[in-house]
Amino acid sequence: MARFSGFGVTFKQMFKPRITGFYPKEKREKPERFHGRHVLNRYEDGMEKCIGCELCAGVCPAKCIYVRGADNSPDSPVSPGERFGFVYEINYLRCIHCDMCVEACPTEAITETKLFEFSFANRADAIYTKEELLVDDEGRAKRQPWELWLGGEDDKTSAWMRATSSSGDADYEGRVNWSGELGFGVREPEQGQSL
């Protein structure tokens, strides 16, 4: 009767819990290191973290980041230090969300959120400018009209988290090596690094 055993499989399946959920009404919790779209961060005093060094653009394997730095004016500096990111664009038609830019950034200016649901209708929208990438005064990502955020998604947007011992040195496990994020504070270290 082996050829009829398939009927048993499908019938039994009816009484098992569903695997799929009610997306987009209900969303699953994203993994800690989820790579969504980027944000450009600020310091607590509103200064931009980006210093226009172009390391992110240099390391980007997809060549999707375009940065131009400019000198800060001494009267109204945009970022602490000499220079700031004058132009900052990421082309999401090219970005592969590898997070290399985040690794390269010396000031933790660019990080990746957990937001990934955006569907632009034209190529211009696909290129996020500095205005769109920069977090607002509360440190939250700015919602673009073509992005779908539902039910408190932006509370979990700041998701960038680095392994506390990124060089593999066990002495640094569980010791936070990053500065706080505007609006989200200092994140706890990831659990389960020392398995």
Partner 1 sequence: MMLGAGDPLLSGKIDLTVVLIVIGKTVAVFAFLLVAVMLYIWFMRKVIADMASRVGPDTAGPWGILQSLADGIKLFFKEQSVPDSADRRVFFLAPYISLMTAFLAFSIIPIGGQVSIAGHQTYLQLADLPIGILFLLAMSGLGLYGVMLAGWSSGSKYPLLGSVRASAQMLSYEAAFGLAIVGVLVQAGTLSTRAIVDKQAWTGVGSLGTWYVIPAFVAFVIFLISAIAETNHPPFDLVEAEQELVGGFHTEYTGIRFAIFYLAEFMNLITMSAIAVTLFLGGPAGPSLGFLSATGAVNTWLMPVFWFVAKVMVLLFGTVWLRASLPRLRYDQLMDLGWKWLIELAFIWVMVSGVIIVGRNEGWNLIAVVPLSLLGGLGILGVLRASMPNRSELVEEIL
Residue 9 binds partner 1, judged by CB under 8 A: yes
Secondary structure in 3-state letters for 167-178: CCCHHHCCCCCC
Q: Which is nearer to partner 1, 5 or 194 (CB)?
A: 5
Residue 21 binds partner 1, judged by CB under 8 A: yes
Minimum CB–partner distance for residue 11 and partner 1 (Å): 7
Q: Which of 69, 64, 147 is nearest to 113 (CA)?
A: 147
Among 1, 14, 121, 124, binds partner 1 (CB under 8 A): 14
Specify which residues 91 forms β-bridges with: 127
> Is residue 35 a contact partner of residue 99, using CB atoms and an 8 Å limit?
yes
Residue 2 binds partner 1, judged by CB under 8 A: no
Binding span for partner 1 by CB under 8 A among 7-15, 34-42, 51-59, 89-97:
7-15
| Close Cβ partners of 120 (under 8 Å, ≥ 6 residues apart) | 92, 126, 146
Binding span for partner 1 by CB under 8 A among 17-25, 74-82, 151-159, 160-168:
17-25
Among 1, 2, 13, 119, binds partner 1 (CB under 8 A): 13
> Is residue 64 a contact partner of residue 92, using CB atoms and an 8 Å limit?
yes
Q: Which of 75, 78, 69 is nearest to 42 (CA)?
A: 78
- Residue 87 in tokens: 């132009």
Residue 11 binds partner 1, judged by CB under 8 A: yes
Residue 74 binds partner 1, judged by CB under 8 A: no
Residues forming the site for partner 1 (CB under 8 A): 6-7, 9-11, 13-14, 16-22
